[in-house]
Amino acid sequence: MTLQHAQTLTKAAVLELAGIEKIYRTDSLETVALANINISIQQGEFVSIMGPSGSGKSTLLNVLGLLDAPSKGVMRLHGMDVTKLKENAIAQVRNQEIGFIFQSFHLVNDLRVLDNVEIPLLYRKGLSGSERKQLALEAVQQVGLSSRTKHFPSQLSGGQQQRVAIARAIVGKPKLLLADEPTGNLDSAMGDEIMNILHTLNREHGTTIAMVTHDERLAAQTDRTIRIFDGQQVA
């Protein structure tokens, strides 16, 4: 297939997965975490991923985010086959294109809010310290935490921590945001706050979002729901 052809084929698709399979092998055990997944996510879409516990949602999101390599299948990001890239190139793609939000926030406890938010920019070339700081301040402002930049994560509520994590995910202005149960550790009021931020990002900045959730109510607010059962795509 020529590059030209590949590009016309995947015109508006941010992500395209074809025949993706993920098998975890240990000495005695073989777990098929994902089998024959075919997904296409369009530019500007807000997609939710649902399924029972252990069905492979996180595995799928990790594959989508290039955090984990599939055992089989092809994946294209903006039309580019990313399954063949080397480790450092993948790291750069993640840095430029993707932002992550985790269920348990994964903030660096030793660093203040602003330093946490700056992390993705550290691995981007050509940014000065003051530029990084400026961008981090903007991101923190977007999640409404401008008054907490000097706090350590342990000094914040769960909802605030997740907002810091969102600021970190968007500071590099990625086109794709991946969130693994972002409200899973939060009460519903805090969860709604987070959802509001995600919706705003999606609507006002055109950020494409894929979000794993257990909550039908939250899934209903998204454009489309992908359902996974036992590693298989059921809808």
Partner 1 sequence: MLRNYLLLAWKVLLRRKFFTFISLVGISLTLATMLVVTAIIDYHANPPRPYTKQARMLFVKSVMGKSKDFTTINEPHYGFHDKYVRPLPGVEKFSIQTESTFITYPNGQKTTLTAKIVDGVFWEIFDFEFLEGAPFTEDDNQQRRMVAVVSEKTRQRYFGDASALGKSITLGSKTYRIVGVARDVASSLSVSGDVWYPVSIDLTPKDRTGVLDEGAGGFTSVILANNASDLPSIQAAFQAMLPTVKFASSNIEYMQAAAETNFGVQAQMFFGFDSEDKDYGKRDNATRLIALLMALTLGFMALPAINLVNVNVSRILERASEIGVRKAFGASSTALVGQFIVENLVLTIIGGAIGVLLAEAVLLWITSAGIFPNAVFHVNARVAVYALGMSAVFGLLSGVLPAWKMARLPIVQSLKGGINA
Ligand X SMILES: Nc1ncnc2c1ncn2[C@@H]1O[C@H](COP(=O)(O)OP(=O)(O)O)[C@@H](O)[C@H]1O
- Of 144, 155, 156, the C-alpha closest to 186 is 156
Q: Under rule CB under 6 A, how many of the chain's residues touch ligand X?
A: 11
Please report, for residues 151, 154, 164, 185, 232, the alpha-carbon distance to residue 110 in angstroms, rounded to integers and kept in the order given: 11, 9, 14, 21, 40
Residue 185: CB minimum distance to ligand X, A: 14
Strands 72-77 and 80-81: antiparallel
Rule CB under 6 A: choose which of 41, 56, 121, 136 binds ligand X: 56
In whole angstroms, what is the distance from residue 18 CA to residue 9 CA?
Answer: 13
Rule CB under 6 A: choose which of 13, 17, 20, 33 binds ligand X: 33
Residue 212: CB minimum distance to Mg ion, A: 6
233 makes contact with ligand X (CB under 6 A): no
234 binds, among ligand X, Mg ion, partner 1, none (CB under 5 to 8 A by kind): none
70 in Cβ contact with 22 (< 8 Å): yes
95 binds, among partner 1, ligand X, Mg ion, none (CB under 5 to 8 A by kind): partner 1
Please report, for residues 1, 28, 45, 118, the alpha-carbon distance to residue 136 in angstroms, rounded to integers and kept in the order given: 41, 46, 25, 6
35 in Cβ contact with 21 (< 8 Å): yes
Residue 39: CB minimum distance to ligand X, A: 15
In the complex, the residues that contact partner 1 under the rule CB under 8 A are 62, 65, 67-68, 87-88, 91-92, 94-96, 99-100, 102, 106-111, 115, 119-120, 122-124, 129, 152, 168, 172
